[in-house]
Structure 1
Amino acid sequence: MRYILFLAFVLSLNAYSKSMLIPSEHSLKPGQAEILPFSINCINECFFSFHLVVSKFDMDSSAESGAMYRLWNKEKTAGILLGLGVNKKSKTPEITVQYFGEGSANKKVVLGDSKIEEWEGFKVSWNESIFNITNMRVKKHKGYSQLKESGISHKDKLFFKPHSMEYLFLGVDLKHYLDIGEQNINEDWRYSVSGN
């Protein structure tokens, strides 16, 4: 716990010049879901960041379990779902990207394995033609920890026009951090960081 709080403090002050992490905690029983939508106000060259620390997945029931962000079009008929899920057969947490809707193959891509209590950060960006997802993890040093790109990433053709996003938490216990500084999808958030 102290490690997570210290890391969040360091990130909010030092890791990125504009970074400001807004924390929240969530505890959902198997079969329960929590959804919170966000509007997207940028037009092109958009980006945002979020971080997940999952302490418990639902490994046993038939219900889905995961901590995801969904990015989709105005009609909510096409988009991507990215974040952390769990492979129920191997009982292994995974970093995944799922495609759905018009113009997509409705496929799921596993980018890599994760671990319980692993700090998993995600930088998501897109323009008119492509989207890119970059994973960030903690590198420990003597006396402090630093968030670095892990080498896990995913880039593909953008097959929909992003209009809104939401977090979707299913049957998990987690700490969630939305970075309202390292983003350009909501100007109100940026004003709160700059103090203007």
Structure 2
Amino acid sequence: MQFHSVPFLLACVFAAAASGAANAGVTIEFSESAPKDRFEIRNDSGCSTGPFELQLDLSGSAGKLIFDTTGNGAGVSVYQPFELVKGQELLRIDRIPSDGDQRIEMAVTDLRPGAIVEFTIDVDDTLPASALGQTRIDGSEIAGGQVFLSANGAPPVNGEFGTDGKALVNFAGCVS
């Protein structure tokens, strides 16, 4: 372990603070639950994000995950349509995911520090043999899913779901 002097550490802190605008940090967290799985979009930074576009893309997930929204489609057994349960005033979705889709696109008007948008939907894997069966998802199955975020006309930045069911996206989006 290497130790640095207090003046050196203070210089690093001041250099980081002076390097430009603060970044916003948005966490997207997936939670397996019955009968509805849950996605939470949360501002973990100390500033408001301003408007941004968000895409969740599960096509690269280890479990080849899909949204199971009807009883007669690609999913298995239990199904649940998309339902926005928190932050309705902050979100616009032009197209509700169809059964078998792997992507959701949405526009968020602004997330203040600590603000949350939450929606439920059923997620199934499409693997022939999986640890919990196709109707239940564990963290290793969502790993590799992508999140793309675009704000302020900048090129999209992305985050990837880990085995903990979380994806973090940092972007230059602080507006206050």
Q: TM-score, normalised by structure 1?
A: 0.31
Hey, which of these two has a bigger chunk of strand by percent? 1
Q: Which of structures 1 and 2 has the larger relative contact order (alpha carbons within 8 angstroms, sep 6+)?
A: 1
Structure with the greater alpha carbon radius of gyration: 2
